[in-house]
Amino acid sequence: MAEITAALVKELREKSGAGMMDCKKALAENNGDIEAAIDWLRAKGISKADKKSGRTAAEGLVGIASAGHKAVVVELNSETDFVARNDAFQDLVRGIANVALSTDGTVDAIAAATYPASGKPVADTIKDAIATIGENMTLRRSAKLEVEHGVVATYVHNAAGDGIGKLGVLVALKSVGDKEVLTSLGRQIAMHIAATNPLAIRSEEVDAAVAERERNVFIEQSRESGKPEAIIEKMVEGRMRKFFEEVALLSQAFVINPDVTVGQAVKDAEKLAGAHIEVTGMARLLLGDGVEKEASDFAAEVAAVAKG
Q: What is the mean pLDDT of the chain?
A: 86
pLDDT in tens, 26-65: 899 898 888 888 888 888 777 644 433 333 337 999 999 9
Q: How far apart are CA 169 and CA 161, in angstroms?
A: 15
pLDDT of residue 218: 84
Confidence at 307, pLDDT banded by 50, 70, 90: very low
Q: Which of 167, 185, 207, 158 is nearest to 254 (CA)?
A: 185
pLDDT of residue 244: 87
User: Contacts for 14-19 with beta carbons within 8 Å, 24 or more apart?
Assistant: 14/54, 15/49, 15/51, 15/52, 15/53, 15/54, 16/41, 16/46, 16/47, 16/49, 16/53, 16/54, 17/47, 17/49, 17/53, 18/46, 18/47, 18/49, 19/46
Average pLDDT over residues 6-11: 85
pLDDT in tens, 161-190: 999 999 999 999 999 999 999 999 999 999
Does residue 151 surpass a pLDDT of 90? Answer: yes
Q: What angle do CA 222, 226, 230 make, to 5 degrees?
A: 70
pLDDT of residue 51: 39
Does residue 70 surpass a pLDDT of 90? Answer: yes
Q: Which of 308, 292, 280 is nearest to 69 (CA)?
A: 280
What is the distance between the terminal CA atoms of the chain, rounded to a whole angstrom? 45
pLDDT in tens, 261-298: 999 999 999 999 999 999 999 999 999 887 755 544 44
Amino acid at 97: A
pLDDT in tens, 197-252: 999 999 899 888 888 888 888 888 877 777 777 887 888 788 888 888 899 999 99
pLDDT of residue 243: 87
pLDDT of residue 162: 93
Q: What angle do CA 127, 129, 131 make, to 5 degrees?
A: 75
16 vs 98, more confident? 98
Percentage of the chain with pLDDT > 70?
A: 90
Q: What is the pTM of this model?
A: 0.73
